[in-house]
Amino acid sequence: MSILSDLKSLFLPPVCPVCGGPLAEGDGAFCMVCRTTVPRTMFWLKAENPMAARLRDFFPVVQASAFIWFIQGSPWQRAIHDFKYRSRWRTAYELGRWFGSNLARSGLYAGVDCVVPVPLHVRRLLGRGYNQADYAAEGIAEGLGVPVVHRALRRLRNNPSQTTRSTAERWVNVEGLFTVRRSDLLAGKHILLVDDVVTTGSTLLACAEALAAALPECRISMAALAVSYHHFGFDR
């Protein structure tokens, strides 16, 4: 975010981060059209859903869900790209808050004690200046009414590009990727691990493995703002 674009945003009327259209009074973070046409998965209403089922093949996750479908070329995909790479971290926070209130209403996440974001490697964090998963976690925690434990995990290396690997290969590739830093704050807790986008789930699974190894008595659930339709959609 440059100083110039910061200044511009002070004087321009607020726009919807999804469609770029003007925000009306009372719209909140997203315009009415985008709020009503958002491609929600509804996974958080069911303990059994395609994402939870896939993750449970690898780890005994308590609950798992994502808020919206990540669909290539959709306006929401562009909004996600913007919050990952173009400093629009506020969109991750607002989407997280929206998701968090839905998680709270579902009742399935009532036992969650705290939220832990998936960390970036320090080099990537310094390059980007922020971790979008931190903002997603803040929003979700606010919606759920529980605290975020920041810097609970450390990422030991950047994972190489995984786009051509199978789920099993990716899983091997991320083993030992994370270590637990705040065992003192997490002992005995039901932890909600939060990432921004789930493709195969291998990153969340690697975090869960690290937590389970350090704190075997913890219970772990998972939530992401978006999940790949290509990997988890109904046509698969």
User: Where do contacts with Zn ion occur on this chain (CB under 5 A)?
Assistant: 16, 18-19, 31, 34
* Shortest separation between residue 75's beta carbon and Zn ion, angstroms: 7
**CA-CA-CA-CA torsion for 107, 71, 207, 168, nearest 10 degrees?**
120
| Pick 19 or 212: Cβ nearer Zn ion | 19
* Shortest separation between residue 133's beta carbon and Zn ion, angstroms: 23
| Pick 31 or 177: Cβ nearer Zn ion | 31
Q: Which two tokens stand for residue 70?
A: 């990540």
Q: How many CB atoms lie within 10 A of CB 216?
A: 7
* Shortest separation between residue 32's beta carbon and Zn ion, angstroms: 8
Find out whether 202 and 171 touch, Cβ atoms under 8 Å. yes
Go through the chain and tell me how many residues it has: 236
* Shortest separation between residue 225's beta carbon and Zn ion, angstroms: 16
| Pick 14 or 176: Cβ nearer Zn ion | 14
CA distances from 138 to 144, 149, 177 (A): 10, 10, 23
| Pick 14 or 147: Cβ nearer Zn ion | 14
**CA-CA-CA-CA torsion for 44, 181, 213, 58, nearest 10 degrees?**
30
